[in-house]
Copies of this chain bind each other. A is one copy, B any other.
């Protein structure tokens, strides 16, 4: 408990924090880290695919980057419409559910949950890559560094750092500034210099063998680059957090975010092409560019640290999104109810720990390698993009309203574009890991539906019927006090039981005739006339004999309930519990699931 308090801090009063609305400047910082941070790896992923067809193919990185820029544009315009239409927050799950129905909504939800886990894993892996590019000696420790980073984020979130999100604004802007400086200076330089380093006549991919520059390869590089647009949906989820007028402010912030993302992304892609920079195993493309532009001095380190910070903040943002989505799902009955009680710190902690655990698992399985994780990443995001856009299309068709045709066309273009991108990503990455995502989506949907049908069955069973019939109560009530000797705790339990109606029986298990005789003599003095029953014990098992006795009563007398009153001796220090109460605990665990058994603990606290 002390350790927990130290790590997690005292509970926070959340009422005030949630009433504070965000200015556009603050909101941009908080909501954009996820989207903008992807510039750290997106250009590199494009190059990594193209290089398979040799250095000449790298020229294709520019058209591919422009195609992705087009995606950014389409998504920005389409999401602005969602922001206006869903001022309460329009995540893919909500949009799909309100327009398309349960199954598409659950697909979106499953895709998003997987996406949150991947956001953490990919961002942390890329953040560690930014660090190890600057300090190559750390490269061999990248897996451990990633795990430490996730644990750090988990602990910070358990401490409730999410509430104080505004403290993140400064590092976010510093990081964007550092990357912006790199892109501006680098691009200006590039116009005044010829391509500084001529691309070496590399024979192709890491294995040395070379692929042909097919359309499939170009589509694969496009699919890899699509990781650039992940996180663009974040603002549409958080419209409620903006100052009045919420939707308008959110829409403006969306444009700013997209503009920053687009210029950083295309700038990095251009510079990488211009300087003929290739992806290396142990240094990121951004790091190589920063080294080329600024040398290995202070500004270089600022860019690397900024990149790393941005990526860690992106991972952090998933820790806000995951429990939020889980709570919406729980409200609709698709996740355990306890996820819906968002304010309960203990419950919220579960979401954080679950997300952290799976992100760590992914990081270990993929050995902290960003490139290995990327094929799984974009697919979930694009499935949810497509489903929200399709939902909006359906909405305009049904709802109509002002300018609905124009809006329909915007979201229609969005749906078709993201749909095509989804198909490209799914087909080019299927064998590389996208199949895992499809499988997981299916498993999650089965889980969601199973949970809901269980809750429905429960609700049918516990709902009170209109005729006012109360559930049956016992005709007869037997109080059983299991004892192993006569002491103050037992006497208190007997006194408690005697203050209530019902037949009382103290029972003890006869293991040793000598001990039993002693108990009987003491009982004569202290038992207050309560019956004492000695149970035989063929298996020498105290627990077994007690359970047999209680089950015997329940079987013989179907109208009788048994109230088991357990005298519990509670030690002064928690670790002393291993010396006590093992049997009481086992007894309680065995009895809890029996019908017609009511359990009562009567405590006796020790002072030392």
Taking the complex as formed, is A345 at the interface, i.e. its CB lies under 8 A from any CB of chain B? Answer: yes
User: Quick one: copies of this chain in the complex?
Assistant: 2
Q: How far is the CA of A451 from the CA of B580 in the complex (A)?
A: 11
Tell me the chain A residues, 1-50 only, with Cβ under 8 Å from chain B: 11-15
Contact of A543 among B344, B468, B470, B594 (CB under 8 A): B344
- The answer on a CB contact under 8 Å between B338 and A583 is yes
Contact of A599 (CB < 8 Å), options: B601, B606, B608: B601
A579 at the binding interface (Cβ < 8 Å): yes
Contact A343 B540 (CB under 8 A): yes
A578 at interface by CB-CB < 8 Å: yes
Interface size on A, residues (CB 8 A): 81
Instruction: Give the interface of A toward B (CB within 8 A).
Output: 11-15, 336-338, 341-347, 451, 454-455, 457-458, 461-464, 468, 470-471, 473, 477, 486-489, 491-492, 495-496, 499-501, 511, 522, 525-526, 537-544, 568-571, 574, 576, 578-580, 582-583, 586, 592-608
A607–B462 Cα distance when bound, in Å, is: 11
A421 to B85, CA, bound (A): 88
Smallest CB–CB gap between A298 and chain B, Å?
Answer: 44
Q: A344-B541, A539-B14 are in contact. Are A471 and B491 (CB under 8 A)?
A: yes
CB distance from A525 to the nearest CB of B (A): 7
Q: Are B458 and A606 in contact (CB under 8 A)?
A: yes
Please tell me if the beta carbons of A342 and B540 are within 8 angstroms of each other in the complex: yes
Expressed in whole angstroms, the Cα–Cα distance for A576 and B470 within the complex equals 25
Chain B residues contacting A522 (CB-CB under 8 Å) are 464
Contact A604 B462, CB 8 Å, known A491-B471, A499-B473, A500-B501: yes
Residues of B within 8 A of A489 (CB): 462, 471
In this complex, which of A12, A499, A540 has the most chain B Cβ atoms within 10 angstroms of its Cβ?
A: A540
Distance in angstroms between the alpha carbons of A525 and B463 in the assembled complex:
14
State the Cβ distance, A408 to closest chain B Cβ, in Å. 34
Nearest CB to that of A477 among chain B residues? B499
Residues of B within 8 A of A345 (CB): 539, 541, 544
Partner of A461, one of B451, B457, B593, B608: B608
Please, which residues of chain B bring their CB within 8 A of the CB of A470? 491-492, 495, 526
Contact B343 A541 (CB under 8 A): yes
User: Is there an interface contact between A540 and B462, defined as CB atoms closer than 8 Å?
Assistant: no
Expressed in whole angstroms, the minimum distance between the Cβ of A443 and any Cβ of chain B is 16
Q: From A570, which residue of chain B is reached at the shortest CB distance?
A: B593
Task: Please name all residues of chain B whose beta carbon is closer than 8 Å to the beta carbon of A492 when the two chains form the complex.
Answer: 470-471, 473
